[in-house]
Amino acid sequence: MHRKFPTYLQYLKWSFVNFLLLIGLLAVFFSPAGLGTSKVFAAPAPKVRVMAIPTFARKYGLPCSACHTAWPELNNFGQVFRDNGYQLMNERDSPIWQNPAYFPITFRITPNWHRESTDNQAIDSTPGGSSSGSTVSGRVTQAGFDLSGMDLWSAGTLYKNISFVLLPSSDPTAVWHFEAAWVRFDNLMGSSWLNLRAGRFELDNMISEKRFLFLSNNGGIYQIYHFNAPGSANNFGYGDNQIGLELAGHSKNSYTRYSVAVLSSNEGGVNFSTDVVPGAPPAGRSYDVNLAFSQAFNGGSLGLERVGAFSYIGQRSTYYQTAQNGAEPLVGLGNKPFYRVGVNGDFFLGKLELLPLYMHGWDNAYLGNGVPANGTLPEGAQAPTFNGGFVEGHYYVSPQLVFLGRYEKVNVGTQANIANPSSYGNVTAYSVGYRWYPIMFSRAGLAWHNEYSISKSIGIVPESGDGTGLPPLSLTNGVWSSSLLFGFDFDF
């Protein structure tokens, strides 16, 4: 598996006493599966997440809660605002209406304390290593005060019906990249059904990973959004920002929404490479397509109910045009296809919000086995598939306090090689937490964030890892990886 913006890696062994303390504080159910052993791995880079934009609250004088169920997650009013090109459509949207001193910049970062623990890691039997030592399976745990990455977020309108986003984002060590950068021509021909966007942007995910409420290394991603079958050379993640053109539209109240995007087959990479940071392999010359549609219904006193469907059809290179006897890859070649399809929902039952998602994925056999398309598939190779998803719940006690929970499950349906154990690559994850917003006004946001998340991945490096974690010694071993995070999540 491959993650684009990995974070840290982890795990934990959690004592029963501490577990009870958490239970008492969070008052949420927690699976006993998380009570097992643990291990860790420290982790450097923070995941790129988040989009809550007090710059808009400042511009329009609205509190955070007007656009967010709990920031950064959007409610339908915020969705309409976003769909309209960051406009309220009250003839006050053009920059000419802004105070000249106003500048649409938002910073977001999360000073935090977190603990990461991962078991079944291949470690030296003697710390520091020795000539007589051996590699054993053990646990790695790390904990301490830390910073998240930082978003430097600018967005708004260049003119009436021309909107933009520029989001340079850094990891905690201030290594920067362009997480998002686009311009959008809104309401073409006076119709909300025609909006054209160009640049690097998040796919039109009805359940956004960029605006969700989890921050820890394990919980801060949707496993299914980044999953690829073990052995696959595919680097695609449905939660990763992509680069290309999007035609999108919506009804006046955004109850009906659609998006059609044509994207470079490079996982949002820049400079003709497959990543936004230097050193990535070169990209190919092909294109992917993403389709998304959702429809909301008025649920009366329950609230707004929304269902949606999506599909991503793409290609990835399997070998390269090269120079210097193969040492220097130049252009991706040998494209092989893959797809992801799924359905999702956003259901309100009063103060309770449920977010279910199901996804099915398929990779071509060459791609799924990491074999160049001009080569020969090994015996037993086949096109891998996987199925999975999650159910996430939010309980909004008030606009300033929300309790969170999520269960995730991903199963590999068809292994890339028939010889693989059937459970190889399966993932199960649980996350719980709460966010409390001591302030709720139109200038800035602050959240006291508490979260515990744990995942079990069989035979592979945990998805939440930063890529430096190791797979277990056996393909049938489950790797438990956990995160505990307390932090002050603020933006201004």
Report the interface residues with another protein, using CB under 8 A. Answer: 15, 17-18, 21-22, 25, 60-63, 65-66, 75-77, 79-80, 88-92, 113, 115, 143, 252-254, 298-301, 303-304, 398-401, 436-442, 448, 450, 484, 486
Q: What share of the chain is helix, strand, coil (3-state, %, to 5)?
A: 10, 45, 45
Contact 153, 51 (CB under 8 A): yes
User: Tokens 């695609």 belong to which residue?
Assistant: 236
Determine the Cα–Cα distance for residues 281 and 285; give it in Å rounded to an integer: 13
Residue with Cβ nearer another protein (271 or 298): 298
CB 464 within 8 A of CB 220: yes
**How far apart (Å, rounded) are the C-alpha atoms in residues 347 and 364?**
35
Shortest reach from residue 149's CB to another protein, in Å: 22
Please state the closest distance from residue 69 (CB atom) to another protein, in A: 9
Q: Which two tokens stand for residue 367?
A: 């791609």
* Cα–Cα dist 55/107, whole Å: 9
Map residue 252 onto helix, strand or coil.
coil
DSSP single-letter state for residue 366: H
Cα distances from 254 to residues 33, 139, 248, in angstroms, run: 40, 48, 11
Q: 70 or 283, CB closer to another protein?
A: 70
Q: How far apart are CA 332 and CA 341, in angstroms?
A: 25
Distance CA 216, CA 89 (A): 36
| Minimal distance, residue 60 CB to another protein, in Å | 6
* CB closer to another protein out of 400 and 423: 400
Nearer to another protein, 350 or 380 (CB): 350
What are residue 439's DSSP bridge partners? 446
Residue 117 Cβ, how far from another protein at the closest point, in Å?
11
CB of 70 to another protein, least distance (A): 10
| 312 contacts 360 by C-beta, under 8 angstroms | no
Instruction: Name which of 112 and 242 has its Cβ closer to another protein.
Output: 112
| Residue pointed to by tokens 């990491």 | 370
**Closer to another protein at the Cβ: 403 or 424?**
403
Beta-ladder partners of 412: 386
Give the β-pairing of 304-316 and 287-298: antiparallel
Q: Which residue bears the tokens 């996987």?
A: 386
Of 286 and 442, CB closest to another protein: 442
Question: Which among 273, 249, 255 is positioned nearest to 197, based on CA atoms?
Answer: 249
352 is written with which tokens? 């309770």
Q: How far is the CB of 192 from another protein (least distance, A)?
A: 12
302 — phi, psi (to 5°)?
Answer: -75, -30
Compare residues 111 and 370 and give the one whose CB is closer to another protein: 111
> Shortest gap between Cβ of 385 and another protein (angstroms)?
38
Of residues 29 and 279, the one with the C-beta less far from another protein: 29
Q: Which is nearer to another protein, 128 or 300 (CB)?
A: 300
- State the Cα–Cα distance between residues 483 and 215, nearest whole angstrom: 10
- As measured in angstroms, the least distance from the Cβ of 441 to another protein is 6
**What span, in angstroms and rounded, lies between the C-alpha atoms of 2 and 414?**
18
Q: How far is the CB of 420 from another protein (least distance, A)?
A: 38
Closest distance of CB 361 from another protein, Å: 33
DSSP bridge pairs for 370: none
CB of 256 to another protein, least distance (A): 13
Nearer to another protein (CB atom), residue 17 or residue 327: 17
Helix (H) or strand (E) segment spanning residue 21: helix 16-26
> Taking the CA atoms of the chain, what radius of gyration do you get in angstroms?
22
Cβ at position 449, least distance to another protein in Å:
10
Nearer to another protein, 52 or 440 (CB): 440
